[in-house]
Amino acid sequence: MSRLIGIIIFFLLTACAPQAEKQQVDFKAEEQAIRSISMKWLELEKSRDAAGIAALFTDDGVMIRQDQQPVGQTAIQKFLTEYMEINPEANPNWSIDRIEIATSGDLAIEYGSWTTTSLGPNGTEEDYGKYVTIYRKVDGTWKMSGDIGQSTKPEEASQ
């Protein structure tokens, strides 16, 4: 009988014990937060703020560009500063195609399309392509942990 009472007490305590509250993810709010960061990046790009862009990345963040070695967070500012010097009139723009957020709410992927006009020293070139940006939540704030951009512009035929 005492064993039965012990089992009943165990189940009652288990049922009445405070349960760890599972955090619900507000996917619409998280998506909007990511869209805001992406547009902030575009604003910083247009204002030529390489330091501001670098600050959007995680400490272990990586940027990968076509025909370039990947650069880590500490080198992103230098890489962007040099890019902006080579392309003084560059006019970037992009649009988000979709955002996927992990069910945990701490990892997200942004897919999009980009165009950049007024490239090159004379501002006469243009390029366009696709990108993927990976976001991670760090201390409750979305940060970029990876960004990959790929040109989809066909190469011009040699004469």
Domains and CATH numbers, the chain: 26-151 (3.10.450.50)
pLDDT band at 3 (very low <50, low <70, confident <90, very high): low
By DSSP bridging, strand 125-138 and strand 141-151 are: antiparallel
Q: Looking at the predicted structure, is the pLDDT value of residue 85 above 90?
A: yes
pLDDT in tens, 118-132: 998 888 999 999 999
- pTM, two decimal places: 0.81
Among all chains, which residue has been given the structure tokens 């897919």? 111
CB-side neighbour CA atoms (13 Å) of 77: 9
By DSSP bridging, strand 57-65 and strand 141-151 are: parallel
Q: What confidence score (pLDDT) does residue 90 get?
A: 94
